[in-house]
Amino acid sequence: MGTLVVADHDNTNLSDATAKVVSAAKQLGGDVHILVAGQNCGSVADASAKLDGVTKVLLADDAIYSARLAENVAELVVGLMGDYDAVLSSATTMSKNFMPRVAALMDVAQISEIVKVEAPDTFVRPIYAGNAMQTVQSSDAKKVITVRTTTFQAVGQGGSAAVEKIAAAKDPGLSEYVGDRLSESARPQLTSAKIIISGGRGMQSGDNFKLVEAVADKLKAAVGASRAAVDAGYAANDMQVGQTGKVVAPELYIAVGISGAIQHLAGMKDSKVIVAINKDEEAPIFQVSDYGLVADLFKALPELEAELTKLGL
């Protein structure tokens, strides 16, 4: 018996999140196996096999997993759980979609977005947008857990686990994939970037995000946004950082024109260094920032870009 980790991937690349989930899984004790469910995703299985501490990779390569629809993946995972004490996956939109389905089919509680493993049955998780931390002990025989990956270190890549092909489970035939409109960007992804610069309502228009992007390009940073900026149509939904968007913890987070609602702070307050640029000196964002600059962002951002250029960035 041991722990099954469900890999997060796009059929080609294994997400960085999975190496962090493996790190949490190792703390439960016992073997760690990875399930890769997808289509033509052999490269993902190979990358999974290299993760330290993984002893086996199960590969379910079938057309019914091409888009990792929740109904299909849940059916597959539940069928495998006879052999495991726990199943873990990252708290990404993919896993948040199918993991509760797995839990319900097994008649167990799901423990969402753990940030710490205290014991194999005891975990810490944030509630109320991170304004409280709760330590919970599970009484279920098997555990279904999603992991907030910002608080776990990725495992290394020295492993060489065997890859075992497994058959697909039956197709529930309840849903079908129609298409994607994914944001194309040459910049790093929000959830793995070392530096993030985010714009808020203070940006005043989508066009003005160019000022943020210019600085991002200098710093090789990802670009984020507050909910207010996304709601106003200045930025795409996948850029939202916060309680209900992405949770990030980069080395450097620069918040521009963001007042600092508790819902936004929930998504970025674990960042190592926080910078706030806002013309309102009373803005709550200054209470969590290491460096605050009270300034008009339309002046400060071009200046910042120029200063970075001077540094040769």
Partner 1 sequence: MKVLVPVKRVIDYNVKARVKADGSGVDLANVKMSMNPFDEISVEQAVRMKEAGTATEVIIASIGPAAAQETIRTALAMGGDRGILVKTDQTVEPLAVAKILKAITEQEGADIVILGKQAIDDDSNQTGQMLAALLGRSQATFASEVKIDGDKAEVTREVDGGLQTIRVQLPTVITVDLRLNEPRYASLPNIMKARKKPIDEKTPEDFGVDITPRLKVLKTTEPPTRAAGVKVESVQELVAKLRNEAGVI
Query: Of 211-250, which residues contact partner 1 (CB under 8 A)?
Result: 219, 227, 230-231, 236-238, 243-244, 246
Q: Is the Cβ of residue 83 or residue 251 nearer to partner 1 in the bound state?
A: 251
Distances (CA, A) of 80 to 4, 34, 286: 9, 11, 49
Query: Which residues share a beta bridge with 171?
Result: none
Of residues 55-74, those binding partner 1 (CB under 8 A): 67, 69-71, 74
Residue 26, token pair as written in the block: 């190792």
CA distance 295 to 284: 15
Q: Which of 82, 162, 167, 173 binds partner 1 (CB under 8 A)?
A: 173
Site for partner 1 contains 127 (CB under 8 A): yes
Closest distance to partner 1 from the beta carbon of 192 (Å): 11
Closest distance to partner 1 from the beta carbon of 231 (Å): 7
Which part of the chain contacts partner 1 (CB under 8 A), choosing from 52-60, 153-161, 202-210, 279-287?
A: 279-287
Site for partner 1 contains 252 (CB under 8 A): yes
Q: Could you tell me how many residues of this chain bind partner 1 (CB under 8 A)?
A: 92
DSSP string, 46-72: HHHHTSTTEEEEEEEE-GGGTT--HHH
Site for partner 1 contains 129 (CB under 8 A): yes
Site for partner 1 contains 96 (CB under 8 A): yes
Which part of the chain contacts partner 1 (CB under 8 A), choosing from 51-59, 95-103, 149-157, 206-214?
A: 95-103
Q: Is the Cβ of residue 139 or residue 160 nearer to partner 1 in the bound state?
A: 139
CA distance 89 to 4: 9
Q: Which of 182, 186, 282, 312 binds partner 1 (CB under 8 A)?
A: 182
CA distance 66 to 22: 23
Q: Which residues contact 87 (CB under 8 A, 6 or more apart)?
A: 3, 4, 5, 6, 77, 81, 99, 102, 142, 143, 144, 145
Q: Is the Cβ of residue 46 or residue 238 nearer to partner 1 in the bound state?
A: 238
Site for partner 1 contains 280 (CB under 8 A): no
Residue 182, token pair as written in the block: 């994914």
Closest distance to partner 1 from the beta carbon of 52 (Å): 25
Amino acid at the residue 71: E
Amino acid at the residue 229: A
Nearest alpha carbon to residue 272 among 188, 150, 130, 153: 150
Site for partner 1 contains 292 (CB under 8 A): yes
Closest distance to partner 1 from the beta carbon of 308 (Å): 7
Q: Is the Cβ of residue 40 or residue 237 nearer to partner 1 in the bound state?
A: 237
Q: Which helix (H) or strand (E) segment is 38 a member of?
A: strand 31-38
Site for partner 1 contains 128 (CB under 8 A): yes
Site for partner 1 contains 111 (CB under 8 A): yes
Closest distance to partner 1 from the beta carbon of 247 (Å): 10
DSSP string, 75-89: HHHHHHGGG-SEEEE
Site for partner 1 contains 296 (CB under 8 A): no
Contact at 8 Å (CB) between 223 and 213?
yes
Site for partner 1 contains 312 (CB under 8 A): no
